[in-house]
Amino acid sequence: MPGWGTFYNVILVIFGVLLGLRFKKFLPERFSEILLQVVGLFIIFLGITLLLEGQEEILLLISLIGGVLIGEALDLTGRLNRFGARFSKMGTSPLSRGFVTASLLFCVGPMAIIGSLADGLTGDSHILLTKAIIDGIASVPLAATLGIGVAFSVIPLMLYQGSITLLAFFLEGFFSPGAIAEISALGGIIMLAMGLDLMGIKRIRVANLLPALPLIMVAIYFLGI
């Protein structure tokens, strides 16, 4: 059922905040690091699984090339980084700083978009569940250092991901199963890039790949896939 992925995401963030507040003196940083690396490895596996659903390799390649050219021209990664830095500095109290920092971390990223689209189009919440685990892990050290304000980030998280999921759910009828498979395959490629980046294998400006998603949707519409 669409929406469960975001529900899991909210629950794991709250759980991570509670852990961070309760055990902040007993959490070595290396535990968070190794857990994130394991999750990065799983993201690579999930990305490959999604990639294998696609059949239109040329369409995927053209969408990626067009998307990354647009992303680089707009410098989406740089803009997101500057946006996050600017708004993080706006919080003067520990409560507001924790809220703003966590909200940006949990909402601004490719997995939130790809996962919400998959949840709405197919009812598959695996991507959002993986994101939920990452956010839950990240919320532990965040809450330990920034406090209870991190917990309030679940409000924009629900609104943001829920809105994308709802929109995708209503658009599902406009896409054939083959079209959804191609969109999922493109999402899988972006997730592969995310996994490599998260594990520190290769730094990739993942946000600059995101314009490929609307490009492939437009191409699918005109090609009648």
- Cβ-in-10-Å burial (0-12, 13-18, 19+) of 110 comes to buried
Query: Is residue 92 within 8 Å of 11, Cβ to Cβ?
Result: no
Q: Residue 131 and residue 214: Cα distance in Å, rounded?
A: 21
- C-alpha count within 13 angstroms, C-beta hemisphere, residue 28: 4
* Per-residue pLDDT at 36: 67
Q: In the predicted model, what is the mean pLDDT of residues 51-72?
A: 90
pLDDT at 26 over 60: yes
Nearest CA to 156 among 9, 4, 1, 55?
9
**Is pLDDT larger for residue 212 or for residue 89?**
212
* Per-residue pLDDT at 9: 94
Query: Is residue 192 within 8 Å of 112, Cβ to Cβ?
Result: no
* Per-residue pLDDT at 110: 75
pLDDT at 88 over 60: no
Query: Is residue 107 within 8 Å of 156, Cβ to Cβ?
Result: yes
pLDDT at 191 over 80: yes
pLDDT bin (cut points 50, 70, 90) of residue 179 is confident
* Per-residue pLDDT at 90: 56
